[in-house]
Amino acid sequence: MRILAKVEPVVEPIYDASMKYQKAGVPLVVVAGKEYGTGSSRDWAAKGTNLLGVKAVIAESFERIHRSNLVGMGVLPLVFKDGADRKSIGFDGTDTIDLVGFAEKLTPGMDVTCRITKADGTVKEIALLLRIDTVDEVEYFKNGGILHYVLRGLLKAA
């Protein structure tokens, strides 16, 4: 699996932007600060994230339940390592974010390579920490979320 997201900075309603990128086949990546998901309406916030076409969230940290709900909705939670954050990395909204090398052997807590291509063509690679924390969560994510996992299990049992 590879997640490649290129987003041009645009000021428009999030739903309109999401529909435009989904129509173009461009997966979205959210780049966030600390305690991403705090104050959210729990599972609906993760469900909305998924429905908007977000495939991954890169944050400084996650609210505990929201991180779990993202995995349950098939959204990849990643955290910056070594004290890095969105500002120190220099994200400016014109970046292409390429998450590579994690699908061959997805394991809890592994490093994921994030290749960032700036508008001027310069490339920077950073390691992110995968916040899929258990083997069960790996299976949920591989199946596109917990609902898909359960439904596939039911079909196998039938």
User: Tens of pLDDT along 15-39?
Assistant: 998 999 899 998 899 999 999 998 8
CATH numeric code, 14-157: 3.20.19.10
Q: Look at residue 64 and tell me whether its pLDDT is greater than 60.
A: yes
Q: Name the least confident of 76-80, 81-85, 86-90, 101-105.
A: 101-105
Give how far Cα 142 sits from Cα of 73, 92, 153, Å: 11, 30, 13
| DSSP helix, strand, coil percent of the chain (3-state; round to 5) | 35, 25, 40
Interval 105-158: pLDDT, tens: 899 999 999 999 998 999 999 999 999 999 999 999 999 888 888 888 888 887
| Reported confidence tier of residue 85, pLDDT bands at 50, 70, 90 | very high
- Please report the pLDDT score of residue 11 as a whole number: 76
Indicate the burial class of 80 (C-beta count within 10 angstroms; 0-12, 13-18, 19 or more).
buried
Helices and strands in the chain: count of H runs, count of E runs: 6, 7
In the predicted model, what is the mean pLDDT of the chain?
A: 88
- Write down the pTM of the prediction: 0.88
- Distance (Å, whole) CA 46 – CA 30: 12
Listed by start position, the domains of the chain span 14-157
